Structure 1
Amino acid sequence: MRTTCRKMISGSGVWLYLQKIHLLILKTVFTVLLVLGACSAVQAKTLMLGHTVPPSHVWHKVALRFADNLATASQDRMKVAVTPLSKLGNEQQMFSMVQSEAITFSILPVGFLSNREESLIGWFLPYQFQDVQQAGAAADLPAAGQMLKNLESHGVVGLGYMFAGMQHILSLKAVNSPDDLINKKVRAFPSPIFNDWLLAIGAAPTALP
């Protein structure tokens, strides 16, 4: 049997800000998306999945579980070769490779994708969730599904979200309140919402390369 499919994104979890403004930089749940490219003639086919983090990271562990589940579901007709550490390229390169079908999958952060699909910025707004569990449940809401569907206009299809833990500030000096970040450079995704947050507390946002 020949099977064909469009480009897709897959994964599980969400980006979010917790409710306390003084924790908005220290307590953020990292969101990622798993991007699936077009596939055809999938019998005994090995599909490529790339991401940017080391094998010890949860992204890689989820990718391996995804590969196992896909192999089982397809009776080994579809296998996934997982490649970590940006060996297939950086985020932009892998996104473009998925669009062009040069690779089949890539795990990408929502911070990166929100610069292409603005509706994903909704995950970064403050005061939405009381805790991580509530935010995780929000990933199943119609609005979250619509955000993923909106990615179709960019040549990929969103299948879900993935939690990868808490984002925090690394500093040589203690950060106990937003005042401790005034006039301090803080590296962040090059996105207006991150700039707005950091500027609002007096920090100096510096875009990640």
Structure 2
Amino acid sequence: MNNINKIASTTLAIGLAMASWNAQARDFRLGMITPPSHLWTQAAEAFAEDLAERSGGEHSVSVFPSQQLGNEAQMVQQMQAGSLDMAFLTIAEISNRIDDFGALYAPYLVDDVEHAARLLRSDVAGELLELMPAEIGLVGVGYGMSGMRQILSRGAIEAPEDLRGQRLRITPFEPIRDFYLAAGTAPMPLPLPDVYDALANGQVDAIDMDFEAIEALKFYDQAEHLLISNHMMFPMVGVVSGRVWRELSGEDRELIITTMNAHLDGVIDSVLEREPAQEAALRGLDITITEADERFFREAIAQWESTWRERAPALATLREAAAVLRVE
């Protein structure tokens, strides 16, 4: 073969290799409801940077926070259709589609964020993710979380009766709606970006929220009574469209799993580190603090359990696992 033919042959081989490389390259789109300042969004951005670096620039991830691609129900539909690649979702939307995930919101399933972290990192919680591909066409990669749920209100809540009739903002999913209905409130689903104004104009009387959001978004400016109850954990899950997943190579799947899980696990670590300081900061404000435990919600818990014990068979297994992890 002469030099010209050699050069032509080499050029063709390089061109074919580059074409194959480019065919595998992806610009993934990742949606979420949290604002840019939120811990979950920061983790998604860090995941995007890390995936690009680990893939040698082959893959990139564009992150769309603040419901830019729609609410969580709409993003799930987009992933089922394959038009959205990934999302960081509250478990709330998953529980609307798979009842067993509702068990993760059982009132007082866990005591605090440390206990929640141990449960979310357990094999029992991991087994729930295996339900997702067949039932809703998504691949569950791993869990993150936010802090424990509290109640911030415009008026004082010092006894269970004080909750009755309160218009209380919730994330729109059935387990938390059923809990607050049992507590006698009028639960009102509202997206996170609308909460501050809803408190300011009196559209809602109280909100179900974690310390981080209460502090970072300054909801306490519009509601000066905080019931520290730690009544429920609030998990998050990183998911990939099942349609997109089927198109990926084994190497790319493993890369996404390891990279995303590292940042989801980092979210949990950050919550463990930050929540004590966030609680201390709120306790230092000129607001009224009341504390409550499981006894405060005794009747509501009994009613919730009677409904969800049958709907979510995983509840019994999760409570057993949580009990063991509590002892540890």
TM-score by length of 2: 0.48
CA distance in 2 between partners of 1:143 and 1:131 (Å): 18
How many angstroms does 1:145 deviate by? Answer: 1.1
1:127 aligns with 108
How many angstroms does 1:141 deviate by? Answer: 1.6
**1:179 aligned partner, one-letter code:** E
Distance 1:92 1:199, change over 3 A: closer
1:56-205 to 2 correspondences below 5 Å: 56-153=37-134, 154-205=136-187
Secondary structure of 1:56's counterpart equals coil
Secondary structure of 1:157's counterpart equals strand
| Aligned-residue RMSD, C-alpha | 2.3
Distance 1:134 1:52, change over 3 A: same
How many angstroms does 1:208 deviate by? Answer: 4.1
CA distance in 2 between partners of 1:120 and 1:172 (Å): 31
CA distance in 2 between partners of 1:103 and 1:165 (Å): 27
Distance 1:195 1:89, change over 3 A: closer
Distance 1:152 1:179, change over 3 A: same
Which structure shows the higher helix fraction?
A: 2
Q: Which runs of 5+ in 2 are unaligned?
A: 1-16, 192-328
CA distance in 2 between partners of 1:157 and 1:202 (Å): 37
**2:179 aligned partner, one-letter code:** W
More displaced, 180-189 or 72-81?
180-189
How many angstroms does 1:190 deviate by? Answer: 4.1
Secondary structure of 1:194's counterpart equals helix
**Percent same amino acid at aligned positions?**
35
CA distance in 1 between partners of 2:65 and 2:42 (Å): 10
Secondary structure of 1:160's counterpart equals strand
How many angstroms does 1:114 deviate by? Answer: 0.3
**2:49 aligned partner, one-letter code:** D
CA distance in 1 between partners of 2:24 and 2:80 (Å): 18
How many angstroms does 1:41 deviate by? Answer: 4.0
CA distance in 2 between partners of 1:65 and 1:176 (Å): 41
1:14-72 deviation digits (Å, cap 9, x = unpaired): xxxxxxxxxxxxxxxxxxxxxxxxxx9432x2111111221101111010111122112
1:55 aligns with 36
More displaced, 97-106 or 195-204?
195-204
CA distance in 2 between partners of 1:196 and 1:100 (Å): 30
Q: Which runs of 5+ in 1 are unaligned?
A: 3-39
TM-score by length of 1: 0.73
1:21-60 to 2 correspondences below 5 Å: 41-43=23-25, 45-60=26-41
How many angstroms does 1:106 deviate by? Answer: 1.4
CA distance in 2 between partners of 1:81 and 1:193 (Å): 32
More displaced, 100-109 or 126-135?
126-135
RCO greater where, 1 or 2, for CA within 8 Å and sep 6 or more?
A: 1
